[in-house]
Chain A
Amino acid sequence: MESIKDKVAIIGMGCTKFGENWDKSAEDMLLEATLEAYEDAGIEQKEIQAAWLGTTRLITGENLANVLKLDYIPVTRVENLCATATEALRNACFAIASGMYDIALAIGVEKLKDQGIGGLDTSEIQPSSRTSYPLGAAAHFFARMATRYMHHYGYSYEELKRTLAKISVKNHHNGSLNPKAHFQREITEEQAMNAPIISWPLGLFDACGVSDGAAAAVLCRADLAKKFRDNYVLVKGMGLAVGARQGFLQPAYDFVHAEETIRASKQAFDMAGIKDPFNEIDCAEVHDCFSITELVIYEDLGFCPRGKGPEYVAEGTFELDGKLAVNTDGGLKCFGHPLGASGLRMVYEMYKQLQGKAGPRQRKNPTLALTHNLGLNPGSAIGSVTVIGQRD
């Protein structure tokens, strides 16, 4: 098996403001993200040889071709639940690494705010047996993990909620520094702890928002990247692991980790040559669909020992000025989670960090960064990990 390491460069990226973009269609957002990415890369559309579009809704490759007026080039629509945008990136990377294309576009979009209900309507994207319970929103999936986390490690409700509140406060702080975030307001620990319960033990501030957005990346063969810019970013490793409902069928599953994150990160770390992720990775964008998810992700990615997440959080380890900054742009907490766009939105932030262009959120000379998505739910998930780094 080969590695993707250093074969593909990211030479331009674009990202819309995320939020309730009532005045923008999916096509509007696709165009906006693409134009920013073209400008950033300094290329014209005619140089794009193929495109991958990530979205979970009824938007096809033809929609992308139409809004951009692509010139009969291959366009492929991909879907992988919450990892959908990363899936567009992953497939475009492999196409370039294969030598088939020199320059490609990876783009993701989701227009959730046309569905007419609050929350995330999953009925369109899950091939359900149509006999399932009326649980559209995803909070209960992860609340089960929070319940078990308390029981498994012996944390009280107070203790767990305090930890989760700190994670949400951190992400809101980062989001307050980001004009592209949906929510740009700081919150307090007390606000987070006392927020209305949505799915016990999770409250309103333990959940990410629901928003619209799009993000795009222009990729090229690493050996051609210098033609476009000096500070291009290299793809170091990519991993994807899809669960087979082991956690729902086998009582051995503990509901305090996501095997899919562990397996995907191992694939990516092996490609990137990472042995000690906590010390080698400088900043990360992880899938904080809920605060408990972020806590468990720290442990699954090897950022801290099992059950010790709360201690690391209390020490400020993952804050903007901490040892390993997590969700520097505000995360899903502040951006919301338009499924088909999130993964590329994360890569956008890490790309800017590696280029030293993250403004008030800028980390000090980061060299290696990670993005992570976790689709579906603990018990059976889709784990996706991408590592990118500065050029030598």
Chain B
Amino acid sequence: MVGIISYGAYIPIHRVTPETEGWEAPYEKATAHFDEDSITMAVAAAIDCLRESKREDIDGLYFASTTSPYKEKLAATTVATAADLRSEILTSDCTNSLRAGTTAVRMALDAVKAGSAKQMLVTAADCRMGYPRGTFDRNFGDGAAALLIGEENVIATIEATYSVSDEILDVWRMDTNKYVHAWEDRWVADMGYNRVVPLAAREILKKSNLTIADISKAVFYGQDQRKHAQMAKMLGLKPEQVQNPMFGTVGNTGAAFSLMMLVAALEEAAAGDRILCVSYGNGADAFLLEVTDAIAAVKGRRTIKQNLGTKMVVGSYEKYLSYRHMSAGEDEGNYTSIPEWPSASCIFRERDAIYRLHGGKCNVCGTVQYPPQRICTKCRSADNFSSLRLSDKKAKLFTYSIDSIAEAPAYALPLVDCIIDFEGGGRANFMMTDVNPKDVKVGMTVEMSFRKIATAGNIHNYAWKCVPFRGVSREETK
């Protein structure tokens, strides 16, 4: 049975605490020193994990993080080399998501199950930054975890897995951002986290023919203490079933968070325990683990408990800022007032229309309509539509304008504003791109293309445009 062979964790010794001059929160958090980052923390966790393991049995290493020090260049190779693994192994970074850690576990599991690897080492580390003195700055902590996945001598078998993908812009950092941004707090909880995590927990329990009462310990992501506690209630967990999320001591450690809690749970687990693990971030990954007798043989780890027990207090908040190259007052235009478009909650609500390009086809009169309507434009039937994907349909250009004064950057002008009629029905208004304006003609055939409309308020705004049907090469606009 495939499962976890070994585990390790790392929490930096440095803490921002109420003793830190200028720190305003009544609790503490772990922070990487000036010479630490996600790679160095992952190495520390990996070394801790590999105490009794043979390096030569390991066929690959995944590094999971939202804060890789590189945007181009593997961090996994640095971690693998520093952890002294062989060279003929698979290395990959799993990034850009708060559930990168659990996704890497899932990928390692699949590799072992498929027989392409005997053992895979998963490392996860994060040191995310919220703008100075913001909520995230107070709640984010730094840390790392490592899990060795394999088939023999497992201390916990992974009995079931469940993953769900969910398009939502709730918490994010653009490629050009330094700080993590988020949409309105209440929306983030209600429409994202509170919807998806219970779904994942419910589905994996159903898959395993278990109820929440059968779980010994539940390990699950939470943005902060309050949201985590609310989720425990929502899932119907008793306090003793909830793994301590370490808020107020370590803080939210991002992609490493769920795995660090899992390590802490394993440290105290006994044979036969069932552990539920659910991560969150644009969906969720869930695992159901069953602890084996081999757990008793694990020893010599630095353990979460020991990591927590040793600390050095950072003298001042200013010093902490300088460690991380943060400047007081920086905020990248975070939302303190009503934002200009686009709206994350609106994109989420209308994601089928905006991203999937679903129109509605009236079940009574057959009229195709985009964007989807509630009342049919033709026969006025109410809420009686079937979804229809328009993204792969060709269309004919009915009329257009070529606009030179739009509020768009110069390189985007002129904008070709089109009214098109889809083959099989449906009229809609779209921009045309990849076209020389002189080639635009009433009646021409177009097809649809998913594009980035604009970036504003630290949000990338994606939507569909039409393009001339790709039959021949075209001349660029001069």
Contacts and interface: CB of A to CB of B under 8 A. Distances in A.
A136 B427 contact: no
Contact of A251 (B354, B398, B407, B437): B398
B191 interface: no
A149 B405 CA distance: 22
A148 B398 contact: yes
A196 B414 CA distance: 13
A128 B402 CA distance: 22
Contacts of A249: 367, 369-370, 373, 377, 427
B341 A148 contact: no
A132 B354 CA distance: 10
Interface in A165-196: 196
B350 interface: yes
Nearest to B420: A251
B431 interface: yes
B408 interface: yes
A144 B377 contact: no
B419 interface: yes
Nearest to A146: B401
Given A131-B463, A142-B401, A250-B377, 19 more contacts: A129-B346, A130-B343, A131-B342, A131-B453, A133-B415, A133-B417, A133-B431, A134-B453, A140-B403, A140-B406, A140-B415, A144-B419, A148-B442, A198-B403, A199-B402, A200-B437, A201-B401, A249-B369, A251-B427
Given A131-B346, A131-B463, A137 B369 contact: no
Interface residues of A, number: 41
A255 B398 contact: yes
A238 to B, nearest CB: 27
Interface in B375-421: 377-378, 398-408, 412, 414-415, 417, 419, 421
Nearest to A250: B377
Interface of A: 117, 119, 123, 128-137, 139-148, 151, 196-202, 244-246, 248-251, 253, 255, 379
Given A144-B417, A147-B401, A147-B442, A128 B341 contact: yes
A139 B406 CA distance: 9
Given A140-B415, A140-B417, A134 B399 contact: no
B147 to A, nearest CB: 40
29 contacts: A119-B407, A129-B343, A131-B342, A131-B463, A133-B417, A133-B463, A134-B453, A136-B406, A136-B407, A140-B415, A141-B401, A144-B401, A147-B399, A147-B400, A199-B404, A199-B405, A199-B414, A200-B401, A200-B402, A244-B377, A246-B377, A248-B419, A249-B369, A249-B373, A250-B367, A251-B398, A251-B425, A255-B419, A379-B419
A295 B417 CA distance: 21
Contacts of B406: 133-137, 140
Interface string B338-379: 001111001100100010000000000001011001000110
Contacts, number: 129
B417 A145 contact: no
A199 B403 contact: yes
Contacts of B367: 249-250
B454 interface: yes
A379 B346 CA distance: 24
B401 A143 contact: yes
Contacts of A142: 401
Contact of A130 (B342, B412, B427): B342
A132 B419 CA distance: 15
B298 to A, nearest CB: 51
Interface string B288-313: 00000000000000000000000000
B429 interface: yes
A156 to B, nearest CB: 14
B240 to A, nearest CB: 45
Contact of B404 (A117, A151, A197): A197
A174 B370 CA distance: 43
Given A139-B405, A148-B399, A245-B377, A131 B461 contact: yes
